[in-house]
Structures are given as structure tokens and as C-alpha cells.
Structure 1
């Protein structure tokens, strides 16, 4: 069988695998939701203190695919899991490199960095159902409850959507959240592969599982701007096939926050049509920026008779 990737890989004396430096492309500058642009739009991002529009986090997952395949072969496409905490945004033109540090037969630590050493993401990769707990499974056990929510005031743990049909054909438009097709992505993906004629790349599994998020939204207040802070994609019975029909549902599994954000953690499950056993899941922490919600201070005072902590 022809190897799926032509990516050059370095392996050091400790067994750490590193891929080449890549400059991922921005493809969400035209993204919109709630009637406004997103953090990936230059003007919107700059108003919120960023240098420009950020490159979407799961874009970086593709740089880990050749490294994981080098470790685990075809099992990566069938039962692979990548679990990442995003640490620093990446902007158009910046170069980044992925590294994987194996720990045992089915588990590895992952890291991505910029040329200056800035950490872009950290986490874990694994295969199969018996691997050690993922980075985000461990992280969720440490979350403090969200105190005095405003944006997420009306969101409750356990809220769940109904089943929604989804698919990803090569030239299928993926909506306002993802204004490009699989074919468009494959022209710019950092690690091309002939397998992607039939298999949905891991970074595009994120698109498949999230592009219908606005069809049955959870009752977050807005408009406001959010960003991906944590994300895990787990294949249970993969690979995910191009053009195949699937169904999904979504559930709020955690609420957390920081000085600048309110976070909603949603687990999405993917099924064969009519099936009751998930074939893939995605855990996604979308952090809503308090500064992007125009009436945050006023709503907080109305709800809690106090001003929010600076």
C-alpha cells in the first residue's frame, strides 16, 4: 500500500517525532454567525486586541496526522484521538511545527510551536479504547464551576439537541460557519494525501461535526465573539467517509470561565443513520469573549446587582 503521506519526519534519540515547519492558510476570514464576523476576521480580531484574524485551531491537527500514522499506521484512521488545549493563536504567514512524544504503545504527548518557541497547543494523541486518559479528560476534572454567568446564563448542563443529518461531499458548501468546501481545503491543507479522496481529514471532521451548530443553538446570549480554547476529536469506528450520510447530536457537558471568557463545553456524537452507537465524538470548548458582548457589564449588574470583576 502506498504510504498516505509524503511528509518528511525527524526522529530524535528520545524517540520524539517532528514534522516540517509549515505556514497554515487562513480560510475563515469570511466566517459569520449571529449577523457578524468572527475572530478569524482581521478587523473583528483587532478590535478585541488580537494582531489579526486567527487561524482556526483544528487546522493544526493535519500536521499531526503523518506523525501519528508513522507511530500507529492504519489504526490512526480508525480509532485515533487528538486532544488539545490551544495556548496561543497563529496568524497568516507564521510557521509552526508539530511534535509527538510516544509514551507506550497507544499514547503520546503532542506539542506545536512557533519559530520563536511560542507554544501553540499541547495535548495528547492515542489510538483505541484502552489508551490512558486524554488531555481534555484530565483537564475537565480540574474545571471550576462558572460563577455569575451572563452570556451563558440560560445554558444548563445536560442540554441536548435532537439528531441532525450531516455529510461532506467534495464540493459541498459547508455554510456560513465554514465558507469553503472539502475540495477548497484540500488545495491548501498542509499535509496532502491521496487518501483524502475517500477519507475526511481529521481537521475537516471538526467542520463536519460543527457546521450545523447554529441550526439547533444552545441559548447563549449575543451577539458576541467566541474562540476555540480546547478540542478533542475521537474516532471510534472510523474512518469518516467523504460523501457518506451521518447523523449527530450535541450536548452541553461543562461550563467554565476565566477573567475574560465564559466557556461552554459541548460533546458532539456522530452516528450512522439510525444507529445508536457513536462512531466518532468531538469535545469542544468555545470560549465567548466578555469584551465582545456589548451589554456585558449592564447585564451583569442587572442579574447580580454588582459590576463584574476586572
Structure 2
């Protein structure tokens, strides 16, 4: 018999599963890319108008795991999908709550939401398992994008650009580089939802697979681990943030201390008044060359964080208002 998956207290209503209030920890204060600090650094974030260093979006995915496991059981860990649009930032010390609306009878697709105590929406999207029965939140969002016009930071990035394959692996005590300066073991010490499924390496009774599995929020870390070894030709230095993210397990779960390969493809470019965005689809392969997971990520780069933005815009496009 396998161990209990989570001991998370879940409130069930006629229409939803609701998790407890949690205060996620910020572990990216020392994150660097392009040789500078990120939006998770207090000083950098404050210069860009934020109150302080922000908590990385996929950290919130952990709070939905007990809800998915309650609703769908083991299949959640094998073919679960979270697809989310990040609506507002969260700071360490703020309490947030995960809400999963129950699917309609005969379907495996439902709405998700995370809120702060004052009602501020941190994210909204969809959760599902198995073969897609309807468009996920981000699949629908891709069809509604405002196209990127007059690009400056992303002017050399093209749709369909594809990276070379990269080998990735996550061990318990492996520091995951400058992008993620911590280990899985350190994350598990502060993760909002603990589970023997995550830490039961070597204990066949810990979960149905007899091996420790990687939490969904840490799949984002694994998939991005070597992204700077083959970066997009974006101009910089500039500061980016996760604006949309979808993680889908195809043949899950993914295991600790297992070899995988990742490949990234630019699938869309979009823009807003403040940002230029590259939407990148990551495909993850196991040793048999089968796709075991995918991630769709909208990395939105803040125009104001790129020092020569205005100068280069005028050089490229004249004085046309942007």
C-alpha cells in the first residue's frame, strides 16, 4: 500500500475543492541571468515599480496538486495539466488560496483560481487530465493574442525558432544553476504541500512508482535549467517575468535523478504597452525518445528594464508612437 499522498486540509463544496491559506516562500533572491539580478531581487523589482522581489509563478502550482489528486487520483500525477495566466504578483508573507472548480459530469477539464485574502486574483486558468477534451486556458489565450509589432528587444526572435536538444537531470542535492540557486531538497523543506511521493526515493511503498517524483512546480525548474546555454537572440540585459505558463504531463510522472532531454520552440510572439513576449513550447523526452511532458511559457520582458529601448525604437521605427 502506498503512503497517503497529501495531508492538506481541503474544503469541498458542491462546486469546488478549496485548499488552505498558504504563504509560499521566495527562493530566488539570488537568481541571476544576463549577469544581472532578476525581478525576484528586491532592489531590481522596486526599480521597476514592484513592492519587492516577487514569488515565481509556478511556486503556486504546488497548492493545486492536492486538489488534483483528490479529484482524479493517481492519473493526476501521470497526465495532469495546469494552464495558468498570472494576473498579479505575490510577495513573501502574503497568504494565497487555491480553488479548483469541479468539472462537468463526463469531462476532465475544470477552472482554477488563486486569490489573496483581499480577493486579488493571483492566477486563473484550467486543470485537466488525460487527452485534451477542450482547449486549455493558454491554448485559448494563444488564439486571442495581440501580435507583437515594432519589436525592439525581440526583433531577432522568430516564430518556429527551435533550440538544440539539451540533457537535463534533477538530483536531490543538485543546485540548479544561476537561474535556480537552490536544490530540490531545499525546496522540499519549504514547499507549501509536502508529500511522501516527493521524498520517498528508495522506498517502494512511498508511491505507486517506487521512486521519488518531481513536484510540478519543480518541473518548471528542470525544464528551464539549461535554457541559458542556448538562449533566444533577445536584446539585453533586460528583466523578464512569467506571464503565462502551462505544464502538461503526457507520460508522467517525472522522476528524481533521471535523465531527460528538452527542446524549445518559439510558437508565438506578442506584445503589450509594457512588455514584449516570447511564447516558448518546451518538449521533454525520456530515454526512449518519447515525449513525457510539455511546457508552454510566456516570458514577458519589461520594456522599461532595457536601458536603450527608447533610443533603439526611434532608430528602428522613427518617432511613431508606440
1:200 aligned partner = 214
Q: 1:243 corresponds to which residue?
A: 257
Aligned to 1:26: 26
Residue 171 of structure 1 is matched in structure 2 by: 173
What SS does the corresponding residue of 1:188 show, helix, strand or coil? coil
* Equivalent residue, structure 1, for 2:284: 270
After superposition, give the CA deviation of every residue in 1:260-281 in whole Å (9 maximum; x if it has no partner): 0000000000001351x31100
Residue in 1 aligned with 2:109? 107
- In structure 2, the gaps of 5 or more residues are 200-211
Distance 1:181 1:300, change over 3 A: same
**TM-fit CA distance, 1:173:** 1.2
CA contact (8 A) 1:297 1:307 kept: no
Q: Show the counterpart of 1:74.
A: 74
- Looking at structure 2, the residues matched to 306 and 233 of structure 1 have their Cα atoms a distance apart, in angstroms, of 40
Alignment-derived partner of residue 301 in structure 1: 314
Partner of 1:6: 7
Q: Is the Cα–Cα contact under 8 Å of residues 4 and 196 in structure 2 kept in the other structure?
A: no
Q: Secondary structure of the equivalent of 1:125?
A: strand
Task: Measure the CA separation in 2 of the matches of 1:266 and 1:256.
Answer: 11
Q: Is the 8 A contact 1:45 1:54 kept in 2?
A: yes
- The equivalent of 1:280 in structure 2 is 293
The number of equivalent residue pairs is 307
The one-character-per-residue Cα deviations of 1:213-243 (angstroms, maximum 9, x if unpaired) are 1010010000000000000000000000000
Runs of 4 or more above 3 Å deviation: none
1:136-151 alignment runs, 5 A limit: 136-151=138-153
Q: What is the match of residue 184 of structure 1?
A: 186
Report deviation, 1:102.
Answer: 1.5
Q: Which region of structure 1 is more displaced relative to structure 2, 32-41 or 103-112?
A: 103-112
* 8 A contact 1:300–1:308 mirrored in 2: no
- Tell me how far apart the structure 1 counterparts of residues 238 and 320 of structure 2 sit (CA, whole Å): 19
- CA distance in 2: counterparts of 1:39 and 1:221, whole angstroms: 17
- Find the counterpart in structure 1 of residue 135 from structure 2: 133
Equivalent-residue separation in structure 1 for 2:139 and 2:4 (angstroms): 32
Normalization by structure 2: what TM-score?
0.94
Q: TM-score, normalised by structure 1?
A: 0.98
Kept in 1: contact 2:12–2:18 (CA 8 A) = yes
Q: Distance in 1 between matches of 2:186 and 2:132?
A: 36
What is the CA distance between 1:88 and its match in structure 2?
Answer: 0.4
Which SS does the other structure have where 1:214 is aligned? Answer: helix
Residue 213 of structure 1 pairs with residue 265 of structure 2: no
Query: Once the 2 structures are TM-superposed, how far is the Cα of residue 307 of structure 1 from its aligned partner?
Result: 5.2
Aligned pairs (5 A) from 1:214-233? 214-233=228-247
* Deviation of the 1:61 alpha carbon: 0.2
Q: How far apart, in 2, do the equivalents of 1:156 and 1:295 lie?
A: 21
